[in-house]
Amino acid sequence: GNSVTQMEGPVTLSEEAFLTINCTYTATGYPSLFWYVQYPGEGLQLLLKATKADDKGSNKGFEATYRKETTSFHLEKGSVQVSDSAVYFCALGNAGGTSYGKLTFGQGTILTVHP
């Protein structure tokens, strides 16, 4: 079945540091890939997505590239801010079949950014 493996946290960085959160997946077909963010006390928000190989999703300075050859979708940001402190989830959307629409989530990575 589908699975998502995320870099274990927590990750603690200083403001303006470079961020990478690794995400690899196992899936059949050509799934869509997502990064979701959960700020403290809030619900889940879509951060970015990519729907096919070599697509790059980007939003709010975050980027992730769909790498089919390495089955990866690593999240990066060149300069993090304190306001980026949150839990980040990598997720995979089924490509089709009866489970179309179902998301499989990674375990989440807690990011804390200090001033």
Partner 1 sequence: SAVISQKPSRDICQRGTSLTIQCQVDSQVTMMFWYRQQPGQSLTLIATANQGSEATYESGFVIDKFPISRPNLTFSTLTVSNMSPEDSSIYLCSVEGTGRGGYTFGSGTRLTVV
Comparing C-alpha atoms, which of 28, 24, 77, 19 is closest to residue 48? 77
Please select the residue that binds partner 1; options are 67, 76, 108, 112, rule is CB under 8 A.
Answer: 108
**7 neighbors 38 (Cβ within 8 angstroms):** no
Q: Per-residue x/- mask for partner 1, residues 74 to 93, rule CB under 8 A?
A: ---------------x---x
The token pair at 3 is 């699975």
Please select the residue that binds partner 1; options are 49, 54, 59, 74, rule is CB under 8 A.
Answer: 49
Q: Could you say which residues in the range 28-47 bind partner 1, by CB under 8 A?
A: 32, 34, 36, 42-46
Query: Contact positions toward partner 1, by CB under 8 A?
Result: 32, 34, 36, 42-46, 49, 51, 89, 93, 98-99, 101-108
